[in-house]
Homo-oligomer: A and B are copies of this chain.
Amino acid sequence: MAIDQLDGRILVLLAREPRIGVLEMSRRLGVARGTVQARLDRLQSSGVIQGFGPQVDPAALGYPVTAFATLQIRQGQGPDVRAHLASVPEVLELHTTTGTGDMRCRLVARSNADLQRVIDRVVGFDGIVRASTAIVMENPVPLRIIPLVEQAAADSEGH
């Protein structure tokens, strides 16, 4: 479950050069190919690596506006609201958080004007009591995992 230094180096290498092959990886890391193969299999089957899906930029797809919405849900309407939000393509992510019936979702839109349409569609659903939205201006730290991987690998040093 915990990862060691070699696992960490594999993950970092993979994050930096994702299209790299197993053979090339083994050369860079100075270990046998079978070892990298086995580590990768283990990382995937243990769930540390969930996949290698392409990271698609919504902006390049024509959706340059990102926003976060905080929703308050009427008691008992949770499942319905989830299904509703899941059916909206512009909802990229949804979490339920502490707080009475609170959800937060990440939205994208084609423009600020289009965001209004998206929000209307999102909150125009019975069961959503209240909604507040914050538009993203900058993204100083894009979603990342490498620093955490390095810390986790370092933590496992002193076994």
| Interfacial residues, chain A to chain B (CB-CB below 8 A) | 1-3, 11, 14-15, 18-19, 46-63, 66, 68, 82, 85-86, 88-99, 102, 104-106, 108, 134-145, 147-152, 155
Q: A99: which of B134, B144, B150 is its contact (CB, 8 Å)?
A: B134
Number of copies: 2
Structural contact, B135 and A18, CB atoms closer than 8 A: no
Structural contact, A52 and B49, CB atoms closer than 8 A: no
* Cβ distance A82 to chain B, nearest Cβ, rounded Å: 4
Q: A15: which of B53, B93, B106 is its contact (CB, 8 Å)?
A: B53
Q: A85: which of B102, B105, B141 is its contact (CB, 8 Å)?
A: B141
Find the B residue at minimum CB distance from A2: B62
